[in-house]
Each structure stands twice: as C-alpha cells, then as structure tokens.
Structure 1
Amino acid sequence: MKTFRRAWSTLAAVTLGALLAASVTAHAADPDKQEIRFGATAGPYSDQIRYGIKPVLEKQGYKVTIVEFTDYVQPNLALADGVLDANAFQHEVYLHKFAEDRNLKLSELVKVPTAPIGIYSRKHKSLDEVKDGATVSLPNDATNQARAIILLQQLGWVTLKPGVDPVKSSERDIAGNPHKLKLLPLEAAQLPRSLDDVDYAFVNGNFALAAGLKLTDALLLEKIPPYYLNLVAVRTADLHKPYVIDIANAYRSAEFRRVIDERFPGFSKPADWH
C-alpha cells in the first residue's frame, strides 16, 4: 500500500510538473484552478463526463482531463493522493467502506445517473432455465457482491441466514442454495469475459456497456435504491471550493440532463431529477 501510494505521489508530481509547463489560455471560473482532472471507469461514466460535463466546464474556462480506469481501487487512491480532482464510478456504500478501511478523507459531491447491475447469459434465454449445479459469476468486492446476492435472493436462488443485513451480505451469509449453484467471484471488470464460461453472470452496468452489451440484453436488471446510485467523489477538504461547486452545477445542468436522455437510456436517475 505504501509503495502504491508513493507511486501515485510520483505520478502526481510528474502530472503537476506537466501542468505547470503547459500554456493556459483560458481563465477558469475558479482562478486557482485551471485544469480539472476527472477519473472514471472506462465506459458510460467517462462518457458522461466527456459528452455532458466537459463541455459545460470548458465553457467556463476550465481544461478538463479525463483519466480512465479499469478497476475500483485506483480511482480513489489517485483522488486521495491529489492526482485527480474528482472521480465518478462508485456508489456511497462502496465509497464509505473504502474510505473507512484506508482512512481516506473523501466525500460524496452529487449522485449521477447509474447503469443497473444485471444478470446476463450467452447460454440461456431465460432465468427459468436455471439447472442444478449452474455456474454463476458475480463481483468479488463486498458491496457489489451484496447487490448480486440481493438479486439471487429475490429470484429464490439463495436464502440468507436469519438476521443478516442483505446490503452487507456475502457468500458466507448464504444459508440455502436449492439449485446448488456454483458461485464464482471475479473482479468486476472481468465479469463480461466470464459469459462464455458460466451459465449466468452478474455484470455491473458500466462494464456491461463497455463490453458492448446492452442493458436490454440483461435477463434481469436491479431496481437501484438511492444508496447504490453512483456518485461524484472529491476530497473532503475541497468540498466548498469554487471548482467543486462548478462540477456539481454541471451535473445539475439542463445540458447534462439532455445528454443523459439522448445517450444513456435505461439509466436510473437521482430522485432530484424528477
């Protein structure tokens, strides 16, 4: 962990050095912030920034750089180390646990339209085709695995031990497995690739779309509760800085909503959008 953080610190120094060397022609709304470095997982959340947020912020004079990631660990470490100014890829349950486990001072800024986790299959056309001993891949990180287990429970494919909070559930909390399913936990980014080898796969919406799947391809999509909607995270110390307020306003703008309606059908939207 220390080695990783030193590596990010080195990268931060190189990045900041490059920024100082670059010529800046526009005057940002925040005079102390000319470039906003935005991290996101590759796919819909980086595209939301690219098409819906970057144009809004650049009209105000900011330069917006998007840094794409393929996992759920590095974006928060990069944000905490100052390599990023904001990121968009996670929900509040994941953020709170990640920040607590690693003693990071990160906070939610605003919730964003979110692609639901779904069950996909290349071998079956229906969930009714499930057979005893079927293989099911699902996320291996705690919070997203719990989302998959909640759906498994709703289907009647598993039951949980008495008193277990489904939001905090894991494989260890499964009491009943009537179909004797073989659960295969994988890194979330690897789940689309598992479709050729398993009967069913739980795939997070962003990785499904990045892999060329459509949300309408899913055999079942979750109904996302508010605590599983993705969000923009920033360093807690920066919450009230002008550029952070400008980011929040960009996500609340009519321009961004128009992009979501045109490019991201099927995404679950925050309650304040209605």
Structure 2
Amino acid sequence: MKIGKGIRLFAAVLAIGVMQAAGAADPDKKEIRFGATAGPYADQIRYGVKPVLEKRGYKVTIVEFSDYVQPNLALADGAIDANAFQHVAYLKKFSADRKLQLSEVVQVPTAPIGIYSNKHKALTEVKAGATVSLPNDPSNLARAITILQQIGWVTLKPGTDMIRASERDIESNPHKLRLIQLEAAQLPRSLDDVDYGFVNGNFALAAGLKLNSALALEKIPDYYMNLVAVKTADLNKPFVKDIREAYQSAEFKAVAQQRFAGFVPPAYQK
C-alpha cells in the first residue's frame, strides 16, 4: 500500500510539474522567431530591434519571406512569433478573408510606395496608351489607384472608398493607360517592360532602387504605415511587450535615422 501511494504521489507531483512548466513557458520565452519581407523590414529587425532584444536575454531568429501571403500564414500557424511587413488595412482584410486572429503591436518606419520608370525621366512624359504596373493585392492596389488620381492620371467616381479603390472605381482615364496588375515582389522586374511602375518601398530597396530615384512618392496616411503583428492570443504576453519597447527605444530610433533615411517615421519617433 505504501509503495502504491508513493507511486501515485510521484505521478501527481510530476503532473503538476508538467502543468506548471507549460504555464510558465511563455513568461520565460527567450527565443523569438521574427518574420519579415526580405529587405528593409528584415534589416530594421536585424540592426535595430534584435540587438535590443538580445540585451534582454532573447535569441532572435529572422525569417525572411518573398511575398505578402506567407508571413501571416506562418504567424497564424505558429511557425513564427511575430512579423513586420504590412499595414493595418492589409492585416485586417487578410485576417478577415482567412479567418485568422492576428493583431497590430506597433507601427514601424515605413518606406512609401513610389512610381519608377526605366524609360522616362518625369511623369509629364506620359503618353496615350502608356503601360503602368501596379500591385495586385487589394490594399496596395488601392494605394496605387489613389496615387494615380493624386497625380491627375485618372479620376475616381464620387464617393470612392480610398482604402478599397480598384479599377472599377475609375471614372475617367484620359491617357488611356493600360494598367497591369502584378504580384508586388515582381514589380521591380516589370520596369523593363512597362512605361511606369508602382513599387512598394521594401521591394524597391531590395531590388537596388533608391527612394529618391522615384518620380513620385506616396504621402503615407496612418492606415498605410507598416506594423508588427502577432497572434491576438499573444498580444499581452511579455515577449510582445518587449518587442514593442524595442521598436520604441532610443537605440532603434538611432538606427532608423542612420540606415533608413527617407522612411516615414511612426509617431513615437517624431
């Protein structure tokens, strides 16, 4: 009887220990797998955020992606713990479409979308029938459509929702532009084949383009500022708090000002 009680007691203690370990795993989390699109947002983590987190005892692994789909799927699946590549409009739509529970943590310095050309030196050189490449994901397409109106190349129907604008909202196209929608990562390559191309800042820089070489740059509204996202269930966990504080640190601000000139700073860096 005593041996049986001892075994049962040991098993109970072991079970409690396992449950306690499981409950304590997240507060003691010391490894962060951080996803980002290759280029400046991965580099922001590499040079500005990772060193701050490492000082706090974390091991940070950067996972680079080449598109705008996989980073959120990897986050939802638990393959990574956080990502930095998207703005809130994209995050909300993607999460709603895929039924994912993802949330914003903090905004990051953001490279504006720009209009580039390998064939023309100015927007005023636009001719009838010119070809223009744009990103094909709905939120970034809306950004490009909005800029087309701002530079006077198209007009949009009254009452158009700028966050959801598409080609269907174009009321007039006086230059008879041919709009070619492509995956955002392919836009830099398209510049050899089109007259003008809209290129997201991260992909422009990754392709060796300079922000100041754009013929026009977007004036980024708040809802197009890029951000860090995590699973909603993780939003109040200690490692997420530490990520937020790393971005808001003086060390990161110094790196951003030195390495990412031309990026639009978030409010906490102004």
TM-score by length of 2: 0.90
Deviation at 1:170, TM superposition (A): 0.5
Aligned counterpart, 1:273: 269
2:185 is aligned with 1:189 = yes
What one-letter code is carried by the residue in structure 2 that aligns with 1:118?
G
Q: In structure 1, what is the Cα distance between the partners aligned to 2:190 and 2:237?
A: 43
Aligned counterpart, 1:71: 67
Deviation at 1:31, TM superposition (A): 4.8
Aligned counterpart, 2:120: 124
Aligned counterpart, 2:13: none
Aligned counterpart, 1:4: none
Aligned counterpart, 2:16: none
Q: In structure 1, what is the Cα distance between the partners aligned to 2:159 and 2:49?
A: 43
Per-residue CA deviation, residues 125-168 of structure 1 (Å, 9 max, x unaligned), is: 00000000000000000000010011100111111122211221
The one of 78, 82, 91 aligned to 2:78 = 82
CA RMSD in angstroms, aligned pairs only: 1.1
Figure out how many residues of one structure are paired with residues of the other and give that number.
246
2:264 is aligned with 1:254 = no
The one of 153, 178, 182 aligned to 2:174 = 178
TM-score by length of 1: 0.88
2:223 is aligned with 1:227 = yes
What is the correspondence of 1:82-231 to structure 2 with a 5 Å cutoff? Answer: 82-231=78-227
Q: In structure 1, what is the Cα distance between the partners aligned to 2:213 and 2:55?
A: 37
Q: In structure 1, what is the Cα distance between the partners aligned to 2:186 and 2:167?
A: 19
Deviation at 1:213, TM superposition (A): 0.3
Per-residue CA deviation, residues 230-260 of structure 1 (Å, 9 max, x unaligned), is: 0000011111111110000000000000000
What one-letter code is carried by the residue in structure 2 that aligns with 1:108?
E
What one-letter code is carried by the residue in structure 2 that aligns with 1:51?
Y
Whether the 8 Å contact between 2:27 and 2:237 is mirrored in structure 1 is no
1:180 aligned counterpart, secondary structure: coil
Q: In structure 1, what is the Cα distance between the partners aligned to 2:181 and 2:57?
A: 44
- Which portions of structure 1, spanning 4 or more consecutive aligned residues, are displaced by more than 6 angstroms? none
Deviation at 1:175, TM superposition (A): 1.3
What one-letter code is carried by the residue in structure 1 that aligns with 2:152?
G
The one of 27, 36, 57 aligned to 1:40 = 36
Structure 2, unaligned runs of 5 or more: 1-25
Aligned counterpart, 1:10: none
Aligned counterpart, 2:46: 50
What one-letter code is carried by the residue in structure 2 that aligns with 1:84?
I
Q: In structure 1, what is the Cα distance between the partners aligned to 2:268 and 2:208?
A: 30
What one-letter code is carried by the residue in structure 2 that aligns with 1:46?
A
Whether the 8 Å contact between 2:27 and 2:239 is mirrored in structure 1 is no
Structure 1, unaligned runs of 5 or more: 1-29
Q: In structure 1, what is the Cα distance between the partners aligned to 2:115 and 2:191?
A: 10
Q: In structure 2, what is the Cα distance between the partners aligned to 1:31 and 1:73?
A: 29
Higher mean C-alpha deviation, range 263-272 or range 124-133: 263-272
1:166 aligned counterpart, secondary structure: coil
Q: In structure 2, what is the Cα distance between the partners aligned to 1:164 and 1:31?
A: 46
Percent identity, aligned pairs only, is 76
Aligned counterpart, 2:19: none
Q: In structure 2, what is the Cα distance between the partners aligned to 1:80 and 1:35?
A: 17
1:53 aligned counterpart, secondary structure: helix
Higher mean C-alpha deviation, range 83-92 or range 160-169: 160-169
1:259 aligned counterpart, secondary structure: helix
Deviation at 1:207, TM superposition (A): 0.1
Q: In structure 1, what is the Cα distance between the partners aligned to 2:159 and 2:229?
A: 32
Larger radius of gyration: 2
